[in-house]
Amino acid sequence: MIKMVTNCIIDIFLPVNTYMFLRFCTILFLICFINTNLFAQLPCDSVGILGQTPSTAFPVCGSSVFTQTQVPACVNNFILTRCIADGNTYQDLNPFWYKFTCFQSGTLGFVIAPKQQTDDYDWQLFDVTGQDPNVVYTESTELDSIILVSYNWSGNTGPTGTNNSADSLYECGSSYINPNPPIFSKMPNLIAGHNYLLMISHFSGSNQSGYSLSFGGGTASITDTTPPRLQSVSPNCDGSKLTLLLNKKMKCSSLARDGSDFILSPAVATITSVTSSNCSSGFDMDSIVITLSGAIPGGTYTLSAKNGSDGNTLIDNCDNGVPVGDSVVFKVLLNQPTPFDSLAPVGCAPSTLKLVFIKNIVCSSIAANGSDFVVTGTNPVTVTGASGNCSNGLTNIITVQLSAPIKLAGNYQLTLAKGTDGNTIIDECGRETAAGASIAFTTSDTVSAAFTSQVLLGCKQDTIVVANSGNGGINTWSWLVDDSVVYASQSVMAIYKENYGIKTALLKVSNGVCTDTSTQSFTLNNKLKAQFSSPVLLCPEDAAIFKDSSIGNIETWYWYFGNGNTSNSQVPPSEMYPPAATTDGRYYPIELVVHDANCYDTSYHEMKVLNSCYIAVATAFTPNGDGKNDYLYPLNAYKAVNLEFRVFNRWGQQVFETRDWTRKWDGTINGNPQSSGVYVWMLSYTNIDTGQKFSQKGTTVLVR
């Protein structure tokens, strides 16, 4: 009711039907105030039910239907929308929040189906990639285009969601301005790799009977197809606890708290319990702490998955279970320092080296100036600093900072030394790793995608030749020529047949470690096209004017006028032609040939020279179909504009009218032949050359 009542409060003084409007608002106020549950909601975070706030949203998957049997009553805050002018307020009333990731870009289709068809559900979809979930409550126009994806706040009841037939991504709340907005919105486009929040708000009174949420109909995928697996195990210092990392988020509800989802081999201790800190404030987890019956001795162990006392293994958010028997091998290094043995893959022109340890390292034992580490090898390298990704004073990764990137290929050693702080590195169990341990690594040459180019201009085709040197051990080339054709060779020849303009070549190169990209543009401006304008019809007393409009870097022009005259000028002189010997006129071929430095092109027109352009009307005509003098019309009206020609019979009745001089009277009215006799005609027109107006009147005899 808030969506409707707010309009009553804000807009009560608008010039509408006052009686009906006040009656409408009064009824709404009564309904709203009777339903005290609507105005006395508790904050959702005080209700303590997971899923009713953005930070505790339900993880969902597109392959299953999610059902809420009931919706606990609570309210959070006002939500960012684009509904400004309708006067409504928008907040997540009696909400549940859902989160998911897009794994394949496309459109999102979903349906919210209330158990009670009289229930009113609203929803809003946010893109929260890289954002705090509570950003949905931020009233900022700067965030509008970033996080708002789609919503529907219609006050109508029944199913809602998105479908292909809807017109708009955004539907505001019902009001007297728009009392019945559509209950379905247009399917929004999702972006692969982005994270989304879907809020579903139950606006209907106290009847919190629930709904089902199903996805389908769109082209996007929000289903994670990565099989769930156990990823790694880290023992604590005395071997009495194990921290298990999972390869993805899995349901807290699928974890048997007695630890029966796992088995340890060799079974020198039993699993007594398991916990996950993530499950206290959410529905899924990616790490588990396993408590053992006692400390286990140093050695190699296997932790395997099995069906627990709850009848299943761990299950991901798409209801896929970790396979029974899936296992991970780990080592327990009791009474031994953490080994200096693992370096993350070294990339192109490394300016840092990343060390990875099986146990956490005490951050305060790392010398910030990098003096715990020395690099030796093909070329001189200086270490300038070191730091960890510290949490609670511990890190299992140390980043070693170099004074400059290593840009040349070579073989190197990273060696552990006692730093200026008096020690090497100390693990979480208080053991110092001995100085002198080293790890070998290699670097590759940097590469350049710069390429040479040659443009060969031709008459019928142009050729672009590009090539890369291949230096630095380059072994792969990827050319994108003119945004369409892809090549994989060291050099490329691209041919363009009469396809002129700006062309682009983009090259990506790699030696397996280092990559580079380069782009060049080329202008093919040798297009040559002969073209000109000339009269189509020419009156005998007029001069023919020819205008060149050819395209290209033209050096010479050659005109042939069909009357024996020629010209080599771009602007040729006008030409005179004798009257045609017959009324049919005479055709003259006009030709223009243009040359640039290498090529030529020709254009050809035909020009008709007339016998006469003197406008006259025959004194008699014989419409008998013999092809001779069968029609009455103004002859030679080539230079007449605004022409009007009318014919009248002897009783003054108009029998023919035209404004097109080539449209002729055939001596009939509605197909009925008219009798022989004298007919009066009237002709008016304007001379196109002089602008002079003429009016003429005369008679013509129709002879049968």
Q: What is the pLDDT of residue 598?
A: 85
Amino acid at 610: L
Give tens-digit pLDDT for 7-55: 333 333 333 333 334 334 433 433 343 343 444 578 888 877 899 999 9
Residue among 212, 209, 206 nearest 1 (CA): 206
The yes or no reply on domain 451-524 and CATH 2.60.40.650 is: no
What mean pLDDT, rounded, does the chain reach? 89
The tens digit of pLDDT for each residue in 256-266 reads: 999 999 999 99
What would the mean pLDDT of 108-116 be, rounded to a whole number?
95
From 3-17, 74-88, 310-324, the region with the lowest mean pLDDT: 3-17
pLDDT bracket for residue 177 (50, 70, 90): low
pLDDT at 398: 98
Q: How far apart are the first and last CA of the chain?
A: 89
Cβ pair 507, 490 in contact under 8 A: no
CATH number for domain 352-443, candidates 1.10.3470, 2.60.40, 2.50.20, 2.60.120: 2.60.40
Transcribe 10-68 into DSSP letters: HHTTSSS-HHHHHHHHHHHHHHHHH-HHHHSPPBHHHHT-TTSSGGGPEE--TTS-EEE
What is the per-residue pLDDT for 205? 60
Protein fold of 2-215: Jelly Rolls (2.60.120)
Predicted TM-score of the model (pTM): 0.54
pLDDT at 271: 97
Radius of gyration over every alpha carbon of the chain, rounded to an integer in angstroms: 44
Q: Which structure tokens are listed for 153? A: 């706040």
**How far apart, in whole angstroms, are the C-alpha atoms of residue 343 and residue 355?**
5
Gap between the Cα atoms of 187 and 165, Å rounded: 9
User: What digits encode the pLDDT tens for the residues 288-315?
Assistant: 999 999 999 989 999 999 999 999 999 9
Q: Kindly state the tokens that stand for 362.
A: 């005490």
For the domain 532-609, what is the CATH code?
2.60.40.10
Q: What percent of the chain has pLDDT over 70?
A: 92
- The confidence score (pLDDT) of residue 386 equals 97
- E strand or H helix that includes residue 508: strand 501-510
Could you give the CA distance from residue 498 to residue 481 in angstroms, rounded to a whole number? 16
* Whether the predicted pLDDT of 563 surpasses 90: yes
- pLDDT score, position 656: 96
How far is it, in rounded angstroms, from Cα 81 to Cα 89? 10
pLDDT of 219 > 50? The answer is yes
Residue 638 is given by DSSP the state G
Residues 6+ apart with CB under 8 A from 492: 465, 466, 467, 479, 481, 505
Tokens encoding 605: 């027109």
Instruction: Read off the pLDDT of residues 474-523 as tens digits, 9 standing for 90 and up.
Output: 999 999 988 667 889 999 999 888 788 899 999 999 999 999 999 999 99
Indicate the domain borders of the chain. 2-215, 230-332, 352-443, 451-524, 532-609, 616-702
230-332 and 532-609 agree in CATH topology = yes
**Which CATH code for domain 230-332?**
2.60.40.1220
The pLDDT value given to residue 498: 79
Asked whether the predicted pLDDT for residue 204 surpasses 90, the reply is no
Query: Averaged over 141-159, what is the pLDDT?
Result: 87
Helix (H) or strand (E) holding 384: strand 383-388
Q: How far apart are CA 318 and CA 224, in angstroms?
A: 7
H helix intervals, 199-305: none
Q: Choose the weakest-confidence range: 207-211, 371-375, 627-631, 678-682.
A: 207-211
pLDDT for res 178: 73
Task: Write out the two tokens for 684.
Answer: 């008016």
Copy the structure tokens of residue 664.
Answer: 């002729």
The answer to whether 592 touches 602, Cβ cutoff 8 Å, is: yes
User: Which pLDDT value is given to residue 80?
Assistant: 86
The per-residue pLDDT for 86 is 67
Structure tokens at 704: 């049968």
Q: Which DSSP string corresponds to 133-200? A: GGGGG---HHHHHHHEEEEE-----S-EEEETT---SEE----SSSS---SEEEPPEE-TT-EEEEEE
The correct CATH number of 616-702 out of 2.60.40, 2.40.360, 1.10.287, 1.10.3470 is 2.60.40
